[in-house]
Amino acid sequence: MTKEEALLAVAKRIAECERCKYYPDQNPVPGEGNPDAQIMFIGEAPGAKENETGRPFVGAAGKFLEEMLNSIGLERQDVFIANIIKYQPPGNRDPLPEEIRFQLPFLLKQIAIIKPKLICFLGRHSMSAFLSDQGTISQIHGQLIRKDNQWYLPLYHPAAALYNGGMRQTLLDDFQKIPEYMDRISAESLT
Ligand code: URA
């Protein structure tokens, strides 16, 4: 099975997961991008636009994310973009801990298939599902972290940073570190 086929199989399981949906005909948003991506971005949960289209980060936060990708010479299709929660929570509320626990295996499977060199968390929800022992997002954003043989970069969520001047600049600055971090990760894998 190719990586693409394996990712499609995960997307099919997400679409068939009746327990994940908040109402019967809700659209799944499994994630999308390059199956061979070296960098994976993980957000929180789909919003209204994502539920409508079945695609992650296609609203205002997604546009901002694309601009930041372009600023470091990447296109959306170079990376893989996903969320920990695969369906839009009612009223756009934060995902509940049990929802994260139940849906996380889908994301873990996607990571295992893609094997990205770097996983960038967008916001505290995805970060704390993996790095809750490392500090809060305001303490560790922008820091390259290695845990269990995987490299991580916690970033502020683009939706939170979009209209907050200070946070926006911090996110832009943190994003600019990605190329240097990728060089460092490649150099360390050679030693
Ligand atoms: N916010 C997220 O965390 N994910 C999306 O897909 C869109 C907005």
- Ligand 1 pocket, residue 47 CB under 6 Å: yes
State whether the beta carbon of 61 lies less than 6 angstroms from ligand 1. yes
CA of 45 to the centre of ligand 1 (A): 5
Element (H, E) at 124: helix 124-131
* The pLDDT value given to residue 163: 87
User: What CATH number is attached to the domain comprising 102?
Assistant: 3.40.470.10
Domains: count for the chain: 1
Whether 46 lines ligand 1, by a CB cut-off of 6 Å, is yes
* Contact 83 CB / ligand 1 (< 6 Å): yes
Distance CA 40, CA 37 (A): 7
Specify the pLDDT at position 136.
Answer: 95
Buried b (16+ CB within 10 A) or exposed e, 123-162: bbbbbbbbbeebeebeebbbebbeeeeebbbbbbbbbbbb
pLDDT in tens, 141-184: 999 999 999 999 999 999 999 989 899 999 999 999 999 999 99
- Domain span holding position 31: 3-190
- Please report the atom of ligand 1 found closest to the CA of residue 61: 8
pLDDT tens readout for residues 12-34: 999 999 999 999 999 999 999 99
The number of the ligand 1 atom at minimal distance from the alpha carbon of 49 is: 7
User: Where would I find the beta strands (DSSP E) of the chain?
Assistant: 32-33, 39-43, 80-83, 118-122, 145-147, 150-155
**Contact 44 CB / ligand 1 (< 6 Å):** yes
Ligand 1 neighbour 45 (Cβ under 6 A):
yes
Q: What is the pLDDT of residues 60-113, one digit of tens each?
A: 999 999 999 999 999 999 999 999 999 999 998 999 999 999 999 999 999 999
Q: Say how many Å lie between the CA of residue 64 and the centre of ligand 1.
A: 11
pTM comes to 0.97
159 lines ligand 1 (CB under 6 A): yes
